[in-house]
Structure 1
């Protein structure tokens, strides 16, 4: 075991060194601050690098080997008089071996489950199946400024109603909800996460994620959302995941200014970013498509309907002009009254087919390796 771990660590070091050499070669002109038509002179080299990095199958992540055939099924029903192994979701999860090595399905009956849930890092291969997103709801109301059991504020990370720290997680037909009241504009410590994903290879099908400020913490890892509904006000999809959102409905509930995304990519070496494909954006207020939380923040919208709530500028640099030369914000064949690219900031992009291609397929997250068919 010791030898294989050393070999794995050595291989990862070699891969990182190789990528660093490639990066230095392909982006050496970044030191030149000349700008042409609002873009860095090195933009072509950068796009070439994006294309090349895609061919490595995101080698900085571990090779994904999923297990999809169930070895057991656990049932949850909040009405203990009816057939069901457990009355809470957390108790069902806690019944699974601490180190889990096979696919366990947790079937959750209709009902509102008022509880805070955590799937620890060692419990891989868990599937949660609800009776329908409108009828199976997991909700809580923590905020970042709430004092936790340690006597300190929970923080944004700890405010999550439902948190996933284990790889190969799947959820179907469930609502994850933070019911803390929507905070007034400028309020501090009111981040209220409904769902936090801090693990690789997680997938969500026909789920709802509902909150206000900082609804979905797409923290780290490769993630896939299909036919999901996500609602919030400010930065309601945020984090540093490498994630694909396909055919999702994104709904804003702000009465003033809000932001759909806050992606936190901090360097060229980070293979992260958010891709939205065949989605729709609706709601109220005035909404930025994204704010540059990270210096190299990366977000792409493709084939997406945008309602009139999208601000003409589209994107915000987080108050740091330097980020305008390092972020990657793009649209490709989007439509609707909010999709007009004419008023967008000069440092966003209307992508060509070639530029958009790495972002719109499952290859963006290596989904062909680990997603169910």
Structure 2
């Protein structure tokens, strides 16, 4: 009877794995139960310029790989088996030397490069494990219409690089942690119901929004918390003159400084950047001592920050 029971369990497990594999185009598993043992192998197997979505199921584990999703790989979908146990990680950093003895730089430090359009990820942890060693990017996103749902972004300085000038990005129910400028770049990005975890002291954002873009970073119903001391974090500073960042109905923790925003030691940025808030709550939401060049949105202005307005022809679920 015991032998039959063991065989039955094995058979059920085998059937379950077969059914799971049929749900996805590719399965990545370090134990050899998928088509690939590494994530990059699965990416490489995606046909170039395919016109349909390609789903890649990634079983739990720590995949230490420096990943590149090429521009020719569009509509690729990563689905993790378990959050937070499906982890894509690498440990490069800006001052680290390449084979020629040159510093890799901020962009060169990224653990994962997303060039392809319409990339999406669910239940994935993106990590740069280099530690507090300066700029060390967990993910660099250039492709348009990038969507992240129930994902984690782990690092210190420069964790999430929203690189693409023409890129629209959507983050839903994600966790993002870091220190200095840990969400930065030039993309138009909406963060909805996300948690921003402030480590030590620094700046939540460093937007470099192009002058011709109506929207930079929009945070809606997000929570700002962390283990940083009180009054040690700015909501943001302008990496480029026309940076745009708005916090709408967010819970701002005690970590946020009373003045809220920083001009990056350049007074002219106060005339060109656009930093605003609307009906935020929490210990860090008191606007009585906010810098005078920041804005408080009216009810009518706040209505203009809908998904439709931010993303245009991209209909985000």
Q: Does TM, normalized by the shorter one, top 0.5?
A: yes
**Where in structure 1 do 4 or more consecutive aligned residues deviate above 6 Å?**
none
1:174 aligns to 2:114 (yes or no): no
Kindly state the Cα deviation for residue 72 of structure 1 after the two structures are TM-superposed: 6.0
Tell me the equivalent position of 1:102.
52
Once residues 367 and 271 of structure 1 are traced to their aligned partners in structure 2, the CA distance between those partners, rounded to angstroms, is 11
Once residues 41 and 130 of structure 2 are traced to their aligned partners in structure 1, the CA distance between those partners, rounded to angstroms, is 24
Tell me the equivalent position of 1:92.
42
2:63 corresponds to which of 87, 99, 113: 113
Once residues 367 and 132 of structure 1 are traced to their aligned partners in structure 2, the CA distance between those partners, rounded to angstroms, is 32
Please provide the CA RMSD for this pair.
1.6
Give deviations 1:140-196, integer Å, cap 9, x for gaps: 11001112245532211121111100100010000000011213xxxxxx2000011
**1:335-350 matches, cutoff 5 A:** 335-350=281-296
Once residues 135 and 263 of structure 1 are traced to their aligned partners in structure 2, the CA distance between those partners, rounded to angstroms, is 30
Tell me the equivalent position of 1:317.
263
Tell me the equivalent position of 1:300.
246
1:216 aligns to 2:168 (yes or no): no
Q: Structure 1 pair 129/71, CA: closer, same or farther in 2 (3 Å)?
A: closer
Kindly state the Cα deviation for residue 355 of structure 1 after the two structures are TM-superposed: 1.5
1:275 aligns to 2:218 (yes or no): yes
Q: Structure 1 pair 158/364, CA: closer, same or farther in 2 (3 Å)?
A: farther
Once residues 266 and 88 of structure 2 are traced to their aligned partners in structure 1, the CA distance between those partners, rounded to angstroms, is 38
- Structure with the bigger RCO (C-alpha within 8 Å, sep 6+) is 1
TM-score (norm 2): 0.88
Q: Structure 1 pair 367/311, CA: closer, same or farther in 2 (3 Å)?
A: same
2:308 corresponds to which of 340, 359, 363: 363
More helix by share: 1
Tell me the equivalent position of 2:208.
264
Unaligned 5+ segments in structure 1 are: 1-69, 184-189
TM-score (norm 1): 0.75
How many aligned residue pairs are there?
Answer: 291
Tell me the equivalent position of 2:236.
290
Tell me the equivalent position of 1:161.
111
